[in-house]
Amino acid sequence: MKKENLPQNNTKKSLNYFLQTKNWWFPLLFILIISVAGVGMIGFQTYNDAPPMTGFKASSGDNLITQTTIEKGQIVFHKYALMEYGSFFGDGAQRGPDFTAEALHKVLLFMIEFRVKEFENNNARLASDMELKIIKENVKDEIKENKYDEKSNIVVLTDAQTYAIQKLREYYTNVFIDSNSEDSFPHHGYISNREEVKDLSDFFFWGAWVCGVKRPGEEFSYTHNWPYDPEAGNNPTSPVILWSVLGLLAFVLSCGIVLYFIGQYNQLPNKFFKQGTSGFLTFEQINNFTPTKTQKASFKFFLVAIVLFLTQVLSGVVTLNEFVDFLSYAGINISKKIPVTIPRSWHLMLSLYWISTCWIASSIFIIPILTKNEKKGQLPLINILFVLLFILVVGSLSGMVLGPLGLLGDWWYLIGHQGWEFVDLGKLYQGLLMVIFVLWAIVVYRGVRPVFIKKQPWNLPNWFFYSVVGIPILFLSGFVAQPETNFVIADFWRWMVIHMWVEAFFEVFVTVIVSYLMVLMGLVSSQAAIRVIYIATLLFLGTGLLGISHNFYWNAKPVATMAMGSVFSTLQFVPLILLTVEAWRFKNMPRLSLSGIKDKNGKEQNIADFAFPEVFLFLVAMNFWNFFGAGVLGIIINLPIMNFFEHGTYLTVNHAHAALMGVYGNISLAAVLFASKILFTPNKWNRRIVQTSFWSINVGLMLMVILDLFPAGTIQFKSVLDHGLWYARSNDFIKGTTFETLTWLRGIGASIFLFGGVIPLTWFIVSRALSLKKGRDSYIDFEQNKTNTKKIESNYF
């Protein structure tokens, strides 16, 4: 990299210093050390301060619940995939109740019932209104009092709590066995063992105890008085309010600092999106390009990915049908035959499967272009990778059906359904996925190793490899917990997988892929792309790793974890500000890249020659959803005081849909179309289908957000404020007129998304499977592929 004339301004000097690759090690290592230390602290607090899975005794000395009983109940919870119906500590699905909020409120009512009867028996009369208020206040104090004895690992309960345990068991036995029907969940026979339901009820009681009782030495519960239930004494605590204010302060301050440095940066001679020097790829170049055999082999991954995408969306339709049963109007009574836990498991896991498959395929396709070489021995490894991926998808999806239905017996955990949201696949299949990630890293390493340059660790091939290696390293955390592991500890490791993937290394991988696609399309220089990747890595890792703590506000962690989450989770919005500042330049990049650029013959390029306008649309959409879906819709739920009332509601679902599909979905589809446009014979491309699919997918997604997910979440949020989370997640609320009406409105966006976008795009890719160009053994660059060919009639326009 050439030395630049450093401006006299000290700020500009500092910026120029950090934009030189030789100075990049210190900031990156500093960020990693601080972030890893912070995550390590959260892990230590998780193990050290987790609420005990204790036994419970009656005041008479009789054993009511043992630690083993709670562990068995947790296993039942996972075995029947109940996290894909309801939630625990707010984590899970939103169709059913949050079992901790529901159990806490039921325990409250049963305890009040016992104390009222006790008063009436002792006084031979009904309690007055004032006496009822006193009884209710006394019950609050009973719930809050912590009688845990660490030596014996036992809690001695009051008579009212003992009564509540028995009544809670009756309630859940009624819900899961005695009063269910084909029109409700769980379906009749979904759980038939009464002993399992008893254990499950005791597990829910433990969750309610954790949410209600005071943490030793504090004036609030293990969960900072979450869920909101003022009748049970659960109100926001002072740390919740304090750290919300401080988190907002940190956010505003960081925004000002970032905007200041952006202003200074824009005065430097080298900007992030410095144009390429050779112009962009033209129709002629890609039409005449002959792919290598490994590039052609990547198409089967893309083909499977697009079919999985369609299947994922269809499983989402079946999941949505559970709320309003709209398919019954067509004579399809699927909700009576398929428990909602199964299609929702498919909907979540398939989103990870098809997106990951696209990324594996895109890396395979890009390697020969990146290295200008076709590495020998890659094709057999790629084919093995595909077979393993096929076994994983078919096997794990089958297990997710058979496991919750009780058809796998004791094998449910290994080859069935683990019962953790987003980590639903059986443990053996999880191990197979790890093997796939490792083999993928080996394929990438073998491919890019020849172009590694000694003492130049920041080149594009190196970043490509770093981002791939980070994914399996983080995936190791998914193997720590077991079915009986304390839920609080196990959920920590689950979030290590989900959050670190999505908000740290996946973000880095996406940045690498997008940047390299820009380089390949001729829109930016490789040096500019490397700078973008480096800055994004610093920001995403600096905020993303520690930002994991916002997932632990209410999962029985101490105040320090909340403090960290309130600051760093809001700072996660800062990288997205950078994207917004550059949004106009990004949108107009194809036109801007033409400034002064000529082709090999000295002829100025024309925007009409740009070969990837449809692909670029998906990249622009990714940029928009990264700001709006991940950023705006994320930050409104991140501050502790907002999250206290919002956690476990549709505002989380709203953010998740907009961010996952908007960002990762769009970049994955961009990768599919980029490779497909090069692999297809030219006359098989159809711009109209691709553009229609693009607008249908993104408009449909936006309509789902504004017609249902956001307003439904807002109404549910208000319901939490008015009544408590237990009511906002109850069947009375979910099946209420307003909520059901909004669900029907979501069907408008979902229909456009599916029929106008996903189905045509799937047909487009699948129907071209036999129209690929022939592969060659060696790589020849785009420029060298130019030949005098007849004009090909294609359907570009």
Band of pLDDT at residue 577, cut at 50, 70 and 90 = low
Q: What is the pLDDT of residue 8?
A: 47
pLDDT of 702 over the 80 cut? yes
Taking CB atoms within 8 Å and a gap of at least 24, the contacts of 117-125 are 118/159, 118/160
Q: What is the pLDDT of residue 89?
A: 97
Considering the chain, what is the average pLDDT of its residues? 88
Tens of pLDDT, residues 94-135: 999 999 999 999 999 999 999 999 999 999 999 999 999 999
Cβ 529 vs Cβ 274: under 8 Å: no
Tens of pLDDT, residues 666-683: 999 999 999 999 999 999
Band of pLDDT at residue 593, cut at 50, 70 and 90 = low
Band of pLDDT at residue 20, cut at 50, 70 and 90 = confident
Q: What is the pLDDT of residue 668?
A: 93
Q: What is the pLDDT of residue 587?
A: 55
Tens of pLDDT, residues 437-449: 999 999 999 999 9
Band of pLDDT at residue 5, cut at 50, 70 and 90 = very low
Rounded CA-CA distance 132/126 in Å is 9
Band of pLDDT at residue 797, cut at 50, 70 and 90 = very low
Mean pLDDT of 614-637: 88
- Tell me how far CA of residue 227 lies from CA of 170, 391, 488, 647, in angstroms: 23, 41, 15, 8
Cβ 765 vs Cβ 669: under 8 Å: no
pLDDT of 584 over the 60 cut? no
Phi-psi group of 5: left, alpha or beta (phi > 0 → left; psi -120 to 50 → alpha; rest → beta): beta
Query: Which residue has tokens 């994320």?
Result: 634
Tens of pLDDT, residues 316-364: 999 999 888 888 887 788 877 889 999 999 999 999 999 999 999 999 9
Q: What is the pLDDT of residue 795?
A: 39
pLDDT of 606 over the 60 cut? yes
Among 166-180, 465-479, 725-739, name the one with the lowest average pLDDT.
Answer: 465-479
Mean pLDDT of 298-324: 95
For residue 707, the one-letter residue type is: L
pLDDT of 12 over the 70 cut? no
Band of pLDDT at residue 4, cut at 50, 70 and 90 = very low
Q: What percent of the chain is modeled with pLDDT above 90? A: 64
Peptide bond into 368 cis (omega under 30): no
Q: What percent of the chain is modeled with pLDDT above 70? A: 87
Mean pLDDT of 495-512: 74
Rounded CA-CA distance 21/24 in Å is 5
Most confident of the following: 6-15, 216-225, 582-591 = 216-225
Rounded CA-CA distance 654/695 in Å is 20
Q: Can you give the pTM of this predicted structure?
A: 0.92
Q: Which of 699, 715, 710, 616 is nearest to 661 (CA)?
A: 699
Rounded CA-CA distance 612/287 in Å is 12
Mean pLDDT of 739-753: 95
DSSP state of 185: S
Q: What is the pLDDT of residue 791?
A: 39
Band of pLDDT at residue 648, cut at 50, 70 and 90 = very high
pLDDT of 650 over the 70 cut? yes
Q: What is the pLDDT of residue 170?
A: 97
Q: What is the pLDDT of residue 787?
A: 45
pLDDT of 575 over the 80 cut? no
Rounded CA-CA distance 113/164 in Å is 9
Tens of pLDDT, residues 154-177: 999 999 999 999 999 999 999 999
Band of pLDDT at residue 626, cut at 50, 70 and 90 = confident
Pairing state of beta strands 417-420 and 154-156?
unpaired
- Point out which residues pair with 65 in neighbouring strands: 56
Dig out the tokens for 163 from the structure.
Answer: 């009564």
Total Cβ atoms within 10 A of residue 776:
14
Band of pLDDT at residue 514, cut at 50, 70 and 90 = confident
pLDDT of 592 over the 60 cut? no
Q: Which H or E run contains 135? A: helix 129-144
Q: What is the pLDDT of residue 569?
A: 79
Q: Which H or E run contains 91? A: strand 91-92
Does 27 or 50 have the greater pLDDT score?
Answer: 50
pLDDT of 605 over the 90 cut? no
Residue count of the chain? 797
Q: What is the pLDDT of residue 337?
A: 82
Phi-psi group of 89: left, alpha or beta (phi > 0 → left; psi -120 to 50 → alpha; rest → beta): left
Tens of pLDDT, residues 355-414: 999 999 999 999 998 889 999 999 999 999 999 999 999 999 999 999 999 999 999 999
Rounded CA-CA distance 180/336 in Å is 12
Does 69 or 267 have the greater pLDDT score?
Answer: 69
Q: What is the pLDDT of residue 796?
A: 34
